[in-house]
């Protein structure tokens, strides 16, 4: 396997590892990636790109995007960018709760384990929905931080009994 393709697989599997959202066994499942085209550099610094109907499947993780970019620096994956109309991530947690996130752009930075979703963001979980133009997700703590961009955030929180139905 070429280094750029190996890096892309590693990066995408890291995306599946978000502890607060991910099913812990997802990383042990095979990953299937499809796109209309790919363009990769076989260098330590650069960007690999998947374009057109990008789909990534691994266990309960399902990613759909128009474009996926993998940025490398000094041979290490630095960040992943998913772009779509919208880009969509779906996953089931260990507790069985489904998460469905949509945004025009998702940027996952490995060094600080942060994910930033921008552009018509909508995150749905059984107990409610969060909408805004910018939502930051700290993978280590599970903290979601919305707003701060001059746009309002809206949330709908369902009563516990309604979420169980």
Domains identified in the chain and CATH numbers: 3-164 (2.60.450.10)
Percent of all residues in the chain with a pLDDT value above 90, rounded to a whole number: 29
Mean pLDDT within 76-80: 85
Mean pLDDT within 92-120: 89
Mean pLDDT within 133-145: 84
Name the nearest CA neighbour of 18 among 91, 106, 73. 91
Decide if 61 contacts 16 (C-beta within 8 A). Answer: yes
Does 17 score more than 70 pLDDT? no
Does 7 score more than 70 pLDDT? no
Does 66 score more than 60 pLDDT? yes
Token pair in block for residue 44: 């330590």
Mean pLDDT within 112-130: 90
Distance CA 45, CA 92 (A): 34
Mean pLDDT within 4-8: 44
Name the nearest CA neighbour of 62 among 94, 95, 104, 34. 34
Q: What is the pLDDT of residue 11?
A: 41
Distance CA 28, CA 31 (A): 9
Distance CA 147, CA 3 (A): 38
Q: What is the pLDDT of residue 157?
A: 85
Distance CA 147, CA 165 (A): 30
What's the chain's average pLDDT? 81
Mean pLDDT within 134-148: 83
Does 34 score more than 80 pLDDT? yes
Q: Determine which of 32-41, 45-54, 134-143 has the lowest per-residue pLDDT on average.
A: 134-143
Bond from prior residue into 2 cis (ω within 30 degrees of 0) = no
Does 58 score more than 80 pLDDT? yes
Does 53 score more than 60 pLDDT? yes
């Amino acid at each position: 396997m070429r280094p750029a393709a190996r890096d892309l697989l590693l990066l995408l599997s890291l995306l599946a590892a978000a502890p607060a959202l991910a099913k812990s066994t997802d990383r042990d499942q095979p990953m299937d990636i499809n796109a209309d085209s790919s363009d990769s550099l076989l260098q330590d610094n650069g960007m690999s790109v998947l374009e057109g109907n990008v789909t990534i499947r691994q266990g309960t993780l399902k990613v759909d995007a128009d474009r996926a970019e993998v940025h490398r620096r000094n041979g290490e994956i630095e960040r992943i960018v998913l772009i779509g109309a919208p880009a969509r991530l779906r996953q089931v947690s260990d507790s069985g709760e489904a998460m469905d996130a949509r945004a025009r752009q998702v940027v996952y930075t490995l060094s600080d384990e942060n994910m930033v979703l921008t552009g018509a963001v909508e995150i749905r979980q059984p107990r409610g929905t969060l909408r805004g133009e910018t939502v930051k997700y700290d993978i280590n703590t599970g903290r979601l931080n919305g707003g701060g961009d001059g746009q309002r955030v809206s949330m709908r929180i369902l009563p516990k009994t309604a979420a169980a139905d």
